Structure 1
Amino acid sequence: MMADRVHPVQPEPATGPIPDPWESPRSSASSQSILPKPVRQPGSYVIQVPRDLVLRVPPKGNGSRAKAYARRRGCCFLVFAWLGALLFLLAVVADILYLVFRPRVPQYSIDALSIASFNLSAASVSPAFDATVRAENPNKKVGIYYRDGSDITVAYDGVTLCTGAWLAFYQSPGNVTVFVAALKGSTIRLSSAARQALVTAETQRQVPLEIDVKVPVRIKFGGVTSWTITVKLKCDVTVTGLTENAKIVSKKCGVKVKLFKFLGL
């Protein structure tokens, strides 16, 4: 009797992914699970908006802040408008004054200097200066009120030697006034270098002095008088010596009047 032959059966090839031997069964199962898709409700839509375009609701206090800012802007605008109108009005007034009165800057000069009690051999000096001042008003329709509170100083190389005051008076149009201003110094101590420089300058008959003047004035334009302004006068004067008979070798004066500068002069 012939024995039956047993043929080996080949296993069928597996279908599907080959499992990873290092992967746990739980993670494999989760990776193969399929999440359910969200169900959209009828009539609803999902719209994606860029972050830069997301509109935010402002805080409650921002409205009042915006109103206050708008009020401040309005006030600033009004202030600048008033300032512009004022500047325009001042320019118009200046033009009218110039066209009607034709103002000219007054002229000043130091015509003489008489110096006493200036002993360079003493430890301290108390000099007395008599300065002859010439003031000319070249205007035909403009008067000048010289008021109290003026100041005149005479200095050498930055050291004040004496002080005094300007004559207070009214100068009519076209007037020339010459007056003497009495200036005095008290117990002035000069350094050895300044003393030696003065001795050398007096020997050479070339003593440079600086004269500064500040005087409050009011300008009269016909029937209108300006506010109080300051006339500043600076003179560089060179004299032959520090004596009563000193002669002026050279002089140069410059004047500044703010009102005449405002008028373009």
Structure 2
Amino acid sequence: MSWDTREEDKKESLETWDNGVSDKGKVTQPSTLSPHLLLRSSSTPTALTTMTPDNSAVALTTATPSSQPATPPSRQGIMRCVVITALGLIVLVGLVVLVFWLVLRPKPLEYTIDDAHIRGFNITAHALNGVFDIRLRSYNHNTRFSVYYDAMEVTVWYGEQTVAISKVAPFYQPRHYVQTITVSATAQSTPLLRPVEKNLRHNESAGVVELEVRARARIRFAVGAVKKHYKLKAYCAPVVMHYSPSSHFDRVYCTSATLMSI
């Protein structure tokens, strides 16, 4: 081999070495990926790799968002929330009313009988006919509560038998007010027990008779827009009635009217 040929081979070797050295400072660009290689499942992130200037590989992870839309709340879940909210409001209002009522507890009503007598008294064929005129007085000592009487019944008793009855029309009693209630309890062919008949005939000859008067009512105590329902019971005894109108009558104080919440 001639001297010239060896020199040319040497130059080619040096050029090849220089090209290799200069390529080390370049950043290798990632090759373009085909679109079908980038497709992944919606739940699997996509990983891409690039080269840094020092030729070290770095993995870039890109999370692909889910393609499924958010599930709207079910109708059953909405109804459950509505029911729970409504029950909560009802309980809250009930507690407020209860506390309010306990603070402003109504006082019992007070009843008296200011007058009573019998007219048209007659016993025929073991049956009673007659009218018992009674004047009741109701005292409402409450300064905050008024009273609505939705229904009222007054009965006259002799021993353990009811001998006359009267219904009272609904009425309103203002707060801190005295209400007079006049009733005419009627006995119309009321069958009598033998002992009751015997005693009533004996009392008729004496001109007076001792009876018991009972009052029952459905009432509402009201303060503002708040109303509370009660059953009222009052017992008045002994009520000495004359068989004819009399100018003298001793007032009878009834037991404190019993209130039962309903």
Q: Which residue of 2 aligns with 1:114?
A: 117
The runs of 5 or more residues in structure 1 that have no matched partner are: 1-81
Hey, what's the Cα distance between the residues in 2 that align with 1:166 and 1:251? 20
| Structure 1 residues 193 and 153: alpha-carbon distance in aligned structure 2, compared to 1, 3 A threshold | same
Q: Which residue of 2 aligns with 1:244?
A: 245
Hey, what's the Cα distance between the residues in 2 that align with 1:238 and 1:107? 16
Task: Supply the AA of the counterpart residue of 2:177.
Answer: N
Q: Which residue of 2 aligns with 1:229?
A: 230
Task: Tell me if 1:142 matches 2:145.
Answer: yes
Q: Of residues 97, 122, 127 in structure 2, which corresponds to 1:124?
A: 127
Q: Which residue of 2 aligns with 1:196?
A: 198
Which has more strand, going by share of residues? Answer: 2
The runs of 5 or more residues in structure 2 that have no matched partner are: 1-86
Task: Tell me if 1:103 matches 2:106.
Answer: yes
**Aligned 8 A contact 1:116 1:127 in 2:** yes
**Aligned 8 A contact 2:207 2:243 in 1:** no
**Aligned 8 A contact 1:238 1:248 in 2:** no
Displacement of 1:247 in angstroms is: 5.1
Deviation per residue, 1:81-107 (Å, 9 max, x gap): x9xxx7x997875453343x3521111
| Structure 1 residues 116 and 142: alpha-carbon distance in aligned structure 2, compared to 1, 3 A threshold | same
Task: Tell me if 1:258 matches 2:221.
Answer: no
**Aligned 8 A contact 1:118 1:243 in 2:** no
Hey, what's the Cα distance between the residues in 2 that align with 1:143 and 1:98? 16
Hey, what's the Cα distance between the residues in 1 that align with 2:138 and 2:217? 12
Q: Which has the larger radius of gyration?
A: 2
**Aligned 8 A contact 1:155 1:210 in 2:** yes
Q: Secondary structure at the match of 1:165?
A: strand
Count residues with an aligned counterpart.
173
RMSD, aligned CA: 3.1
Hey, what's the Cα distance between the residues in 2 that align with 1:91 and 1:257? 22
| Structure 1 residues 125 and 206: alpha-carbon distance in aligned structure 2, compared to 1, 3 A threshold | closer
Q: Secondary structure at the match of 1:178?
A: strand
Displacement of 1:252 in angstroms is: 4.2
Q: Secondary structure at the match of 1:196?
A: helix
Displacement of 1:150 in angstroms is: 2.5
Q: TM-score, normalised by structure 2?
A: 0.56
Q: TM-score, normalised by structure 1?
A: 0.55
